[in-house]
Structure 1
Amino acid sequence: MYAFNIERPSTIAGAVDALAKDEAQALGGGQTLIPTLKQRLASPDTLVSLTGIPEMQGICTADDGALCIGGATSHAAVAAGASAYPALAALAGGVGDPAVRNRGTIGGSLANNDPSACYPSAVLASDATIVTNAREIAADDFFDGLFATALDEGEIITEVRFPVPEAANYQKFLQPASRFALVGVFVAKYADGVRVAVTGASEDGVFRWSDAEAALSGNFSASALAELSVPADGMIADLHGSAEYRAHLVKVMTGRAVSAA
């Protein structure tokens, strides 16, 4: 590891000021960033830790019933404290291993937008709102391809607001070595329709399966998926699974999620 400075602001305003300096990088739980630094894929002069900002931690319920989670809240805290949204709590409890769950944060995961991460599927399927120090971003506008988001330089995820659905479930086909999703599907049923978000499968990152959404909005049953198929074009192909295999898994995991929900 190379030498760098670290700042630990106690307020969002202090973090924004620290990130305005040249070669400064935000640090959440460090579960992605620290390995990246070790491999010299990034080399910021200063890391700005966000985990010491009280207003970015914790879980509460808003007046409109939405579940609000601070951007610096750990996966373990989400798993333990998001009982109002059981599917989200279960997803958080399946992220990585205990060490990752106790250090990694929801804001860090979303800002990194790994194509196989679990949280992006929950955010997209829930039509969640990503709140930053500067604005509010709808889930449909937030994710922008592999490791890319709508966040501007120095912008911080301070909170994520999840509308709680009538029914929901997340199913992950686990890649056992990394514990990332080979394919993960989050299904959420709301009064105005069903949303289905898929992670781990596409070369463009998390996406919504619109055909499944239309079918399930009319008949919330795994049988509604019987005549549907997912094209293999654009799916990830690697030593763990071909593009065709991942396309097949999308339908399988969606069916399981609907049945479990």
Structure 2
Amino acid sequence: MKPAAFDYHRPDSVEEAVSLLAELGEDAKILAGGQSLVPMLSLRLAFFDHLIDISRLDELKGIERRGDALWIGAGTTDATVGADRQVSAAVPLLTRVTPFVGHFQIRNRGTFGGSIAHADPAAEYPTVALTLDAVMEAVSPRGRREIAAADFFTGLWETALEPDEVLTGVRFPLSNSRSGFGVHEFARRHGDFAIAGSVVAVRLEEDRVSHCAIGLMGLGSTPRRAAAAEAAVLGMPLGELDPKQIGELAMSGLDDVPADLQGSASYRARVGAVMTARAWTDAVAEAGGEATHA
């Protein structure tokens, strides 16, 4: 199928893009890499009278250290994020999840900010942003503002961005010593969205858990955190923690797990528990602890 007719705009700056959004209102949509939007338009699952192409705006591209955070421009391609040495050193979890983002053709065109703004609950980058307490940067005619990841994802494919706002970049806190990271997800085929998945970040002090963040993919209308499991392991010695129990605890309180042709809610939860246990085991091993009860 072909998309419905639309007017195409290619602004020369973020300021111009924001002005167009404000002028055109809800009939306009930002186009970045187009790896999610274009198929939806072609299948006529979405309709817009105007597309505003920001894919060639250099001010939205780049990766750089800014104080105690790593900034990634919204227009930076997924492939660039996955191959960047700064990302690998400062936010290794992003490097680990990038190979799961579609296929290499998609990663070469898709943009980091596009994935974040699309807010698919089964997508890797939004889940990592939530897990690592990233901060989103946006601009509108009213100026610039920052949005914590915990407040950014508001519903299925919905975010806290206003209709006239453009996501310009995302800031991630830098990785600490004795930190470990793990990611496991299950999909029918490599490159498909995860039926269920988990990313884990752990920091140890004297073989006790001093920090733990567990993010869940495909287990709700938004990416989510396994708050009960995170609280349960905090301060605990590694020898008393069973990965299987942590995985099961991560599924507690999930009363809105989706069910579809890929699997029932109970099936997704079972898969999510296993993925969390595996991600936990990898993260603890990398942080310098022993992966007990694996």
- Residue 24 of structure 1 aligns to which amino acid in structure 2? A
Greater gyration radius: 2
Which stretches of structure 1, 4 residues or longer, exceed 4 Å deviation after superposition? Answer: none
- Residue 219 of structure 2 aligns to which amino acid in structure 1? A
1-structure distance, mates of 2:255, 2:67: 43
2:112 corresponds to which residue? 106
Asked if the contact 2:17–2:52 (Cα under 8 Å) also holds between the matched residues in 1, the reply is yes
2:88 corresponds to which residue? 83
2-structure distance, mates of 1:44, 1:137: 26
- Residue 169 of structure 1 aligns to which amino acid in structure 2? G
1:208 aligns with 2:225: yes
- Residue 223 of structure 1 aligns to which amino acid in structure 2? D
Q: Deviations over 1:77-120 (max 9, x none)?
A: 11011222222112122200111101111111111111211111
- The DSSP-based 3-state class of the residue aligned with 1:170 is strand
2-structure distance, mates of 1:60, 1:175: 35
Q: In the TM superposition, what is the alpha-carbon distance from 1:259 to its structure 2 partner?
A: 1.5
1:193 aligns with 2:211: yes
- Residue 38 of structure 1 aligns to which amino acid in structure 2? S
1-structure distance, mates of 2:193, 2:110: 14
2:268 corresponds to which residue? 246
Question: What are the equivalent positions in structure 2 for 1:179-190 lying under 5 Å apart?
Answer: 179-190=192-203
- The DSSP-based 3-state class of the residue aligned with 1:20 is helix
- Out of 33, 38, 51, the residue aligned to residue 34 of structure 1 is 38
- The DSSP-based 3-state class of the residue aligned with 1:238 is coil
Asked if the contact 1:233–1:243 (Cα under 8 Å) also holds between the matched residues in 2, the reply is no
Please report the TM-score for the alignment, with normalisation by the length of structure 2: 0.82
Asked if the contact 2:100–2:190 (Cα under 8 Å) also holds between the matched residues in 1, the reply is no
Asked if the contact 1:216–1:224 (Cα under 8 Å) also holds between the matched residues in 2, the reply is no
Which deviates more, 235-244 or 132-141? 235-244
| Greater helix fraction, Structure 1 or Structure 2 | 2
Question: What are the equivalent positions in structure 2 for 1:55-204 lying under 5 Å apart?
Answer: 55-64=59-68, 66-81=69-84, 82-84=87-89, 85-133=91-139, 134-165=144-175, 166-176=179-189, 179-190=192-203, 193-202=211-220, 204=221
Q: In the TM superposition, what is the alpha-carbon distance from 1:173 to its structure 2 partner?
A: 1.2
Q: In the TM superposition, what is the alpha-carbon distance from 1:217 to its structure 2 partner?
A: 2.2
Work out the percentage of aligned pairs sharing the same amino acid: 40
2-structure distance, mates of 1:238, 1:45: 31
2-structure distance, mates of 1:145, 1:15: 25
2-structure distance, mates of 1:175, 1:154: 37
Please report the TM-score for the alignment, with normalisation by the length of structure 1: 0.91
1-structure distance, mates of 2:20, 2:30: 9
Which deviates more, 132-141 or 241-250? 241-250
1:7 corresponds to which residue? 9
- The DSSP-based 3-state class of the residue aligned with 1:72 is coil
For the aligned residue pairs, the C-alpha RMSD in angstroms reads: 2.0
Q: In the TM superposition, what is the alpha-carbon distance from 1:260 to its structure 2 partner?
A: 1.3
Asked if the contact 2:183–2:198 (Cα under 8 Å) also holds between the matched residues in 1, the reply is yes
